[in-house]
Structure 1
Amino acid sequence: MELRIEGLGVDIDGRSLVHDLSLDVRGGEVVGLVGPNGSGKSTALRCVYRALRQDRGTVRVGADDIGRLPMRRSAQLVAAMTQDGAVDLDFTVEEVVALGRAPHQRGNQALGERERALCARAMERLGIHHLAGRGVLTLSGGERQRVLLARALVQEPEILVLDEPTNHLDVRHQVEVLSHLRGAGPTVLVVLHDLNLAAAACDRLCVLSQGRLVASGTPSEVLTEELVAEVFGVRATVVPHPLTGDPQLLYSLHHTP
C-alpha cells in the first residue's frame, strides 16, 4: 500500500521543524530518510505513526487520511520501531513480540494458533527464537532491537516506519536486520544515519536538510560528492560497490569541504 506525505509542516516552540514536506513511498518500496541531526527526519516519522500531530499537511495510507482514522485502525495499518521504544517491564521476549497483535485482538483475547505461529516465525526470522523465555531487561541493546522489530512485523502492517533500527547492533546484525526490509511485505520508510547502509538497503533516498526535502531519487542519483559536502559538511569520495554497484562513500578524516 502506498504512503503519501503531502505538504507536511510541524512547528514546535515557535520554530518550524519540518517545512512543506511531500514524498511518496510506493507499495512494497523501501525508502530511506537521511540527513544531518536536526533535519526533521524523526519529526516527520512521528507524524506518520501519530505520535505527533502535524500543524499542516496530510499523511495518507492508500486513500485514507491517517489522522482521521480511529487509533485502532491506524495501528493496524502502521507499525513503528522507534528510537525510544524501550521496554521498562520485564516481560519475556515472547510476550513482547506478541504485543504486536494487540491492534487486531479484542480485550484480553488469547492468541490463536495462527497468531502464535506468526510470532514464532518472526522470532525465528530475527534470530531471537532461542530467547523466547528470557526477560527483555536481561538482553543486550542489540537483542532488544531485534525483539522490537519482530514485534512490529507481527503487527502485519501495511506501512512499517523505523527510526534508526540499527542502533546498538553489531555489523552482522545491522546487515541482517536491513536485509529483512526488502521483501518483508509492508511498505517501508526508514531513518538511517549510515549512508552506506542506506544505499544498500533502500530503493530510494529522500534527503532532508533544515526540515526541507533537498533531494530524492535512487541512491546513485542522490549520493553525490557534491550533495554530501553541501548537506553533511564532509568530504567523501563516492565509489561503486564491487559486488552490487551501490554507491559507497569513502570519507576523509582530515579534510572538510
Structure 2
Amino acid sequence: MDALPLSLHDVSVEIAGSELVHALRLDLRAGEVVGLLGPNGSGKSTALRCVYRALTPSSGAVLLDGADLAGQGLRATAQRIAALTQDSRAELDFTVEEVVALGRAPHQRGNLRLTARERELCREALRRMDITHLAHRSVLTLSGGERQRVLVARALVQEPAVLVLDEPTNHLDVRHQVELLRFLRGCGLTVLVALHDLNLAAAVCHRIALLRGGSLVACGKPAEVLTPDAVREVFGVDVTPVSHPVTGVVQLLYDLPVDGTTSEGTMP
C-alpha cells in the first residue's frame, strides 16, 4: 500500500517548559483538504510549523510519503511542501511577478533564468489568484488581501504535493475568500489548513481536526465534528447546526442574544 502523503505521528512540541502540542496524530490522504480548528493558543500554528520545518518536534515525527522529514534536506522538503504562514512577508521592493517567480527557487541551482515552462507556471498562478493585472506592480504598493493572493500564487509555483496554509483568508474580502477555498477544494493537492471561520472550514474541508490545549479533541467529517456539544466544549459558544439549502453542508448558526438579552433571555 502506498504511504500517505503527510502524517503527524504523535507530534509533541515543548517550549520553555510548556507543552504547546501533545501527541498529535493526524494522517492526510492524497488530494484531501484537512482543516485544523481551535481557539487561539490551541496549537494549530505550532503543529503547522512542524510540517513546514520552522520547528522541530520535541517528540514524534512528521512523515512525508512515509519518510521522516528530519532525515531530509530542506531543499528536498521545499520541493514537496509549500507554506503560507501568518507571518509571511513581502517587504522587498519586488514586483508581483518577481515574488511569484521566487516559488521556483527550491527547484533551481544558481541564478538561472526561468525556463519557458516555469514562466508559464507563473502566468497560470497569477491567473488562478486573479492578480495578472498586478504583475508589474511593486508588492509594497498592494493591499493586505492582494499580498495574500501573491503569496498563495508563489506557493503554487513551487508545484508542491502538500500545501500548508495558516489562516489564508486573513485580509481577503468575501469574494476572494470563497474563490480561494473553492480552489483549495478542487486543486488536487493535499492541503492542511488552519482556519478560524467554522462555516468556511465546514464548506471546504473533507475532514476537520479539532484542537484544544494542544491536543486533538475530534477528527472527522465536518458534520461529525462540529456538533453543538463539541463546539461548546472547545470554543465556549452555543450553536445550532443547519444544512446549507444548496450544498447540504453543515453550517452553524451562533446562538447570539437578541434585542439586548442573553441566550437565557435576561438582560446582561
Provide the residue aligned with 2:64 in structure 1: 61
What per-residue deviation string (whole Å, max 9, x for no partner) do you get for residues 35-93 of structure 1? 01000000000000000111000001112211210110011011000010011111100
Residue 184 (structure 1) aligned with residue 183 (structure 2): no
Alpha-carbon deviation of 1:256?
Answer: 6.6
> How far apart, in 2, do the equivalents of 1:186 and 1:67 lie?
22
Quick one: which amino acid aligns to residue 106 of structure 1? R
Give the fraction of aligned pairs with identical amino acids, expressed as a percent. Answer: 64
- Aligned 8 A contact 1:9 1:20 in 2: yes
C-alpha displacement of 1:184: 1.4
User: What are structure 2's unaligned runs of at least 5 residues?
Assistant: none
SS at match of 2:179: helix
SS of the equivalent of 1:88 reads coil
Q: Does 1:225 align with 2:228?
A: yes
| Counterpart position of 2:139 | 136
- Aligned residue for 1:118, secondary structure, equals helix
Runs of 4+ residues deviating >4 angstroms:
none
Question: Structure 2 residue aligned with 1:7, among 7, 10, 14?
Answer: 10
SS at match of 2:185: coil
Do structure 1's residue 35 and structure 2's residue 41 form an aligned pair?
A: no
**TM-score, normalisation: structure 1:** 0.98
Q: How does 1:57-96 map to 2 (within 5 A)?
A: 57-96=60-99
Aligned residues of 2:42 and 2:213 also touching (Cα < 8 A): yes
Check if 1:240 corresponds to 2:238: no
Count of residue pairs the alignment pairs up: 257
Q: What does the per-residue CA deviation read over 1:114-156, in whole Å, with 9 as the maximum and x for residues that have no partner? A: 0000000010011000100000010000000100000001100
Specify which of 48, 51, 68 is matched with residue 51 of structure 2: 48
Contact preservation (8 Å) 2:208, 2:221: yes
Counterpart contact for 1:234–1:256, Cα < 8 Å? no
Say whether 1:198 aligns with 2:214.
no
CA RMSD across the alignment: 1.1
Q: Distance in 1 between matches of 2:112 and 2:121?
A: 16
TM-score normalized with structure 2 length: 0.94
Which amino acid in structure 1 is aligned with residue 109 of structure 2? R
CA shift at 1:182, angstroms?
Answer: 1.8
Instruction: Give the alignment partner of residue 115 of structure 2, picking from 108, 112, 117.
Output: 112
Q: Say if 2:6 and 2:66, in contact at 8 Å, map to a contact too.
A: no
CA contact (8 A) 2:44 2:194 kept: yes
Q: Give me the whole-angstrom Cα distance separating, in 2, the residues matched to 1:237 and 1:90.
A: 48
Give the counterpart letter for 1:179 in structure 2: R
Q: Is the 8 A contact 1:235 1:251 kept in 2?
A: yes
**Alpha carbons of 1:60 and 1:256: their partners in 2 closer, same or farther (altered >3 Å)?**
farther
| Structure 1 unmatched runs, 5+ | none
1:126 aligns with 2:129: yes
- Conserved 8 A contact 1:78-1:157: yes
Do 2:36 and 2:192's aligned partners in 1 also have CA atoms closer than 8 Å?
Answer: yes
What amino acid is aligned across from residue 131 of structure 2 in structure 1? I
